[in-house]
Amino acid sequence: MKTIHQVHPRDFKGYDTTQIRENFLLESLLQKDKIECVYTHYDRMVIGAAFPVTKSLQLTSYDELKSENFLDRREIGIINIAGSGTIEVDKEKFNLGKQDCLYIGKGKKNIVFNSTDKTAPAKFILFSCPAHKEFPTQLMSLSEALPAEMGSLDNNNHRTINKYIHNDGIQSCQLVLGVTNFKKGSIWNTMPPHTHDRRMEAYFYFDLSQDQRVIHFMGEPGETRHLFLNNEQAILSPSWSIHSGVATANYSFI
Protein backbone atom coordinates (compact mmCIF):
# COMPACT_ATOMS: atom_id res chain seq x y z
CA MET A 1 0.00 0.00 0.00
CA LYS A 2 1.39 3.37 -1.04
CA THR A 3 1.68 5.97 1.74
CA ILE A 4 1.18 9.70 1.17
CA HIS A 5 2.40 12.11 3.87
CA GLN A 6 0.95 15.49 4.73
CA VAL A 7 2.26 18.61 3.03
CA HIS A 8 2.68 21.98 4.76
CA PRO A 9 1.13 24.87 2.76
CA ARG A 10 4.40 26.82 2.98
CA ASP A 11 6.29 23.96 1.32
CA PHE A 12 3.53 23.51 -1.27
CA LYS A 13 4.31 26.94 -2.74
CA GLY A 14 7.64 25.61 -4.03
CA TYR A 15 6.28 22.42 -5.64
CA ASP A 16 6.45 21.92 -9.38
CA THR A 17 3.76 19.99 -11.27
CA THR A 18 5.51 16.64 -10.83
CA GLN A 19 5.72 17.09 -7.04
CA ILE A 20 2.07 18.12 -6.81
CA ARG A 21 1.00 15.03 -8.75
CA GLU A 22 3.16 12.75 -6.61
CA ASN A 23 1.76 14.13 -3.34
CA PHE A 24 -1.94 14.55 -4.15
CA LEU A 25 -3.00 12.64 -7.27
CA LEU A 26 -4.07 8.99 -7.17
CA GLU A 27 -3.76 7.92 -10.79
CA SER A 28 -4.16 4.15 -11.05
CA LEU A 29 -6.47 2.81 -8.36
CA LEU A 30 -8.53 0.65 -10.73
CA GLN A 31 -6.50 -2.44 -11.66
CA LYS A 32 -8.21 -5.48 -13.16
CA ASP A 33 -8.71 -8.30 -10.62
CA LYS A 34 -6.91 -6.37 -7.88
CA ILE A 35 -7.56 -4.24 -4.83
CA GLU A 36 -5.40 -1.12 -4.73
CA CYS A 37 -5.27 1.12 -1.63
CA VAL A 38 -3.43 4.30 -0.65
CA TYR A 39 -2.85 5.26 3.01
CA THR A 40 -2.82 9.00 3.59
CA HIS A 41 -1.70 10.91 6.66
CA TYR A 42 -4.63 13.28 6.11
CA ASP A 43 -7.00 12.06 8.85
CA ARG A 44 -5.45 8.60 8.25
CA MET A 45 -7.89 8.10 5.40
CA VAL A 46 -7.43 5.14 3.06
CA ILE A 47 -8.65 5.53 -0.52
CA GLY A 48 -8.80 2.52 -2.78
CA ALA A 49 -10.60 0.49 -5.42
CA ALA A 50 -11.65 -3.13 -5.91
CA PHE A 51 -12.04 -4.17 -9.56
CA PRO A 52 -13.18 -7.82 -9.69
CA VAL A 53 -13.52 -9.11 -13.25
CA THR A 54 -12.70 -12.82 -13.45
CA LYS A 55 -12.33 -13.66 -9.75
CA SER A 56 -13.39 -12.74 -6.21
CA LEU A 57 -11.33 -10.18 -4.32
CA GLN A 58 -10.96 -10.24 -0.54
CA LEU A 59 -10.07 -7.11 1.39
CA THR A 60 -7.14 -8.01 3.64
CA SER A 61 -5.21 -5.88 6.10
CA TYR A 62 -1.93 -4.07 5.45
CA ASP A 63 1.17 -3.67 7.59
CA GLU A 64 0.50 0.08 7.80
CA LEU A 65 -2.81 -0.53 9.59
CA LYS A 66 -1.22 -2.58 12.41
CA SER A 67 -4.30 -4.81 12.66
CA GLU A 68 -5.21 -8.39 11.82
CA ASN A 69 -8.26 -7.33 9.79
CA PHE A 70 -8.78 -4.20 7.70
CA LEU A 71 -11.77 -3.04 9.76
CA ASP A 72 -10.55 -3.90 13.27
CA ARG A 73 -10.22 -0.18 14.01
CA ARG A 74 -11.70 1.36 10.86
CA GLU A 75 -14.95 1.94 8.97
CA ILE A 76 -15.43 1.98 5.20
CA GLY A 77 -17.79 3.48 2.63
CA ILE A 78 -18.00 1.93 -0.83
CA ILE A 79 -19.54 3.29 -4.04
CA ASN A 80 -20.00 1.14 -7.14
CA ILE A 81 -19.42 3.24 -10.28
CA ALA A 82 -19.98 0.62 -13.00
CA GLY A 83 -21.74 -2.75 -13.58
CA SER A 84 -23.65 -4.75 -10.99
CA GLY A 85 -21.72 -6.56 -8.29
CA THR A 86 -21.88 -8.05 -4.82
CA ILE A 87 -20.06 -7.44 -1.56
CA GLU A 88 -20.07 -10.20 1.03
CA VAL A 89 -19.64 -9.01 4.63
CA ASP A 90 -19.06 -11.85 7.08
CA LYS A 91 -21.18 -14.15 4.85
CA GLU A 92 -24.00 -11.59 4.40
CA LYS A 93 -24.30 -10.65 0.71
CA PHE A 94 -25.23 -7.20 -0.62
CA ASN A 95 -26.07 -6.43 -4.26
CA LEU A 96 -24.86 -3.08 -5.60
CA GLY A 97 -25.87 -1.43 -8.85
CA LYS A 98 -24.28 1.68 -10.26
CA GLN A 99 -23.96 4.49 -7.68
CA ASP A 100 -25.25 2.34 -4.83
CA CYS A 101 -23.41 2.73 -1.53
CA LEU A 102 -22.48 0.22 1.15
CA TYR A 103 -21.26 1.29 4.60
CA ILE A 104 -19.41 -1.33 6.67
CA GLY A 105 -18.68 -0.54 10.29
CA LYS A 106 -15.82 -1.29 12.62
CA GLY A 107 -15.22 -4.91 13.54
CA LYS A 108 -16.31 -6.76 10.40
CA LYS A 109 -13.73 -9.29 9.26
CA ASN A 110 -14.35 -10.89 5.86
CA ILE A 111 -15.09 -8.52 2.99
CA VAL A 112 -15.30 -10.08 -0.50
CA PHE A 113 -16.01 -8.29 -3.81
CA ASN A 114 -17.49 -9.87 -6.95
CA SER A 115 -18.87 -8.73 -10.28
CA THR A 116 -22.17 -10.13 -11.50
CA ASP A 117 -21.09 -10.15 -15.17
CA LYS A 118 -17.43 -10.15 -16.19
CA THR A 119 -18.34 -8.44 -19.49
CA ALA A 120 -19.72 -5.49 -17.49
CA PRO A 121 -17.78 -5.66 -14.20
CA ALA A 122 -18.40 -3.64 -11.09
CA LYS A 123 -15.90 -1.03 -9.97
CA PHE A 124 -15.95 -0.46 -6.22
CA ILE A 125 -14.39 2.77 -4.90
CA LEU A 126 -13.38 2.63 -1.22
CA PHE A 127 -13.01 5.34 1.44
CA SER A 128 -11.97 4.29 4.94
CA CYS A 129 -11.36 6.22 8.18
CA PRO A 130 -10.40 5.22 11.73
CA ALA A 131 -13.45 4.39 13.86
CA HIS A 132 -14.06 4.37 17.63
CA LYS A 133 -17.56 2.83 17.61
CA GLU A 134 -19.38 0.08 15.73
CA PHE A 135 -22.20 1.09 13.38
CA PRO A 136 -24.28 -1.46 11.45
CA THR A 137 -23.55 -2.43 7.87
CA GLN A 138 -26.04 -0.62 5.65
CA LEU A 139 -26.79 -0.60 1.94
CA MET A 140 -28.27 2.51 0.34
CA SER A 141 -29.30 2.56 -3.30
CA LEU A 142 -29.05 5.63 -5.49
CA SER A 143 -32.83 6.04 -5.32
CA GLU A 144 -32.69 6.07 -1.50
CA ALA A 145 -29.94 8.70 -1.23
CA LEU A 146 -30.92 12.19 -0.08
CA PRO A 147 -30.65 14.43 -3.17
CA ALA A 148 -29.74 18.12 -3.09
CA GLU A 149 -30.09 20.02 -6.37
CA MET A 150 -27.57 22.82 -6.63
CA GLY A 151 -26.48 25.54 -9.06
CA SER A 152 -27.98 26.47 -12.41
CA LEU A 153 -27.35 25.94 -16.11
CA ASP A 154 -26.84 29.71 -16.44
CA ASN A 155 -23.78 29.35 -14.19
CA ASN A 156 -22.67 26.04 -15.78
CA ASN A 157 -22.96 24.22 -12.45
CA HIS A 158 -26.40 22.56 -12.37
CA ARG A 159 -25.84 19.37 -10.39
CA THR A 160 -27.39 16.90 -7.97
CA ILE A 161 -25.52 15.88 -4.82
CA ASN A 162 -26.69 12.47 -3.60
CA LYS A 163 -25.91 12.17 0.10
CA TYR A 164 -25.29 8.69 1.50
CA ILE A 165 -23.16 8.71 4.67
CA HIS A 166 -24.04 11.82 6.73
CA ASN A 167 -25.99 12.97 9.79
CA ASP A 168 -29.41 12.39 8.20
CA GLY A 169 -28.44 9.23 6.31
CA ILE A 170 -26.16 6.27 7.02
CA GLN A 171 -24.52 6.82 10.41
CA SER A 172 -20.73 6.65 10.81
CA CYS A 173 -17.97 7.70 13.19
CA GLN A 174 -16.36 10.33 10.98
CA LEU A 175 -16.77 9.36 7.33
CA VAL A 176 -19.02 11.54 5.14
CA LEU A 177 -19.72 10.34 1.60
CA GLY A 178 -21.78 11.42 -1.38
CA VAL A 179 -21.84 11.51 -5.18
CA THR A 180 -22.28 14.60 -7.34
CA ASN A 181 -23.77 14.21 -10.83
CA PHE A 182 -23.65 17.07 -13.32
CA LYS A 183 -26.40 17.89 -15.76
CA LYS A 184 -25.49 18.06 -19.44
CA GLY A 185 -23.88 21.41 -20.19
CA SER A 186 -22.72 21.98 -16.60
CA ILE A 187 -19.04 21.59 -15.74
CA TRP A 188 -18.10 23.68 -12.63
CA ASN A 189 -18.02 22.19 -9.13
CA THR A 190 -17.64 23.92 -5.76
CA MET A 191 -17.83 27.47 -7.06
CA PRO A 192 -17.10 29.73 -5.27
CA PRO A 193 -14.33 27.60 -3.72
CA HIS A 194 -13.66 27.40 0.01
CA THR A 195 -11.60 25.55 2.61
CA HIS A 196 -12.49 23.18 5.48
CA ASP A 197 -10.10 23.93 8.33
CA ARG A 198 -11.46 21.00 10.39
CA ARG A 199 -11.19 18.20 7.81
CA MET A 200 -9.59 16.93 4.63
CA GLU A 201 -11.48 15.73 1.57
CA ALA A 202 -10.80 13.37 -1.30
CA TYR A 203 -12.46 13.25 -4.71
CA PHE A 204 -12.80 10.43 -7.22
CA TYR A 205 -13.83 11.60 -10.71
CA PHE A 206 -15.72 9.25 -13.04
CA ASP A 207 -18.17 9.05 -15.95
CA LEU A 208 -15.96 11.41 -17.93
CA SER A 209 -15.27 10.49 -21.57
CA GLN A 210 -11.76 9.19 -22.13
CA ASP A 211 -10.85 12.11 -24.41
CA GLN A 212 -12.00 14.72 -21.86
CA ARG A 213 -10.27 16.13 -18.77
CA VAL A 214 -11.03 17.58 -15.34
CA ILE A 215 -9.01 20.61 -14.21
CA HIS A 216 -8.80 20.54 -10.41
CA PHE A 217 -7.84 23.74 -8.57
CA MET A 218 -6.09 23.62 -5.20
CA GLY A 219 -3.77 25.58 -2.92
CA GLU A 220 -4.19 28.40 -0.43
CA PRO A 221 -6.89 30.91 -1.46
CA GLY A 222 -4.40 33.60 -2.42
CA GLU A 223 -2.11 31.39 -4.48
CA THR A 224 -3.83 28.53 -6.30
CA ARG A 225 -2.50 25.78 -8.54
CA HIS A 226 -4.14 23.32 -10.89
CA LEU A 227 -3.84 19.74 -12.14
CA PHE A 228 -5.33 17.93 -15.12
CA LEU A 229 -7.07 14.63 -14.27
CA ASN A 230 -8.26 11.78 -16.45
CA ASN A 231 -11.41 9.75 -15.94
CA GLU A 232 -11.36 7.46 -12.87
CA GLN A 233 -8.64 9.29 -10.99
CA ALA A 234 -8.69 10.66 -7.44
CA ILE A 235 -7.15 13.65 -5.72
CA LEU A 236 -6.52 14.60 -2.09
CA SER A 237 -7.59 17.98 -0.73
CA PRO A 238 -5.83 19.14 2.49
CA SER A 239 -7.76 21.22 5.00
CA TRP A 240 -5.77 24.36 4.06
CA SER A 241 -6.50 24.03 0.36
CA ILE A 242 -9.38 25.29 -1.71
CA HIS A 243 -11.10 22.62 -3.81
CA SER A 244 -12.80 23.44 -7.05
CA GLY A 245 -12.87 21.99 -10.52
CA VAL A 246 -14.04 22.37 -14.08
CA ALA A 247 -14.09 19.87 -16.92
CA THR A 248 -14.30 19.82 -20.69
CA ALA A 249 -17.59 17.81 -20.45
CA ASN A 250 -20.09 16.83 -17.76
CA TYR A 251 -19.00 14.17 -15.25
CA SER A 252 -19.59 12.76 -11.78
CA PHE A 253 -17.47 12.56 -8.65
CA ILE A 254 -17.47 10.94 -5.22
Residue 191 has pLDDT above 80, yes or no: no
pLDDT tens-digit profile of 59-115? 999 999 999 999 999 999 999 999 999 999 998 999 999 999 999 999 999 999 999
Residue 189 has pLDDT above 90, yes or no: no
Residue 184 has pLDDT above 90, yes or no: no
CATH number, domain containing residue 160:
2.60.120.10
DSSP the chain: -EEE----HHHHTT--HHHHHHHHEE-----TT-EEEEEESSTT-EEEEE--SSS-EE----GGGTSSSTTSSEEEEEEE-SS-EEEEETTEEEEE-TT-EEEE-TT---EEEEES-TTS---EEEEEEE-SS----EEE-GGGSEEEEE--GGGT--EEEEEEESTTSB--SS--EEEEEEPTT--EESSS----TT--EEEEEES--TT--EEEEEEETTEEEEEEE-TTEEEEE-TTS--EEEESS--EE-
pLDDT tens-digit profile of 138-176? 999 999 998 888 878 887 788 888 999 999 999 999 999
- Domain range spanning residue 223? 2-253
Q: What is the mean pLDDT of residues 206-222?
A: 94
For the chain, how many structural domains are there in total? 1
How far apart CA 214 and CA 250 sit, in angstroms, is 9
- Residue 12, pLDDT score: 96
193 — pLDDT class (breaks 50, 70, 90) = confident
Burial of 197 (0-12, 13-18, 19+ CB in 10 A): exposed
Query: Model-level pTM?
Result: 0.95
- Residue 196, pLDDT score: 83
Comparing 170 with 193, the larger pLDDT belongs to: 170
- Residue 159, pLDDT score: 87
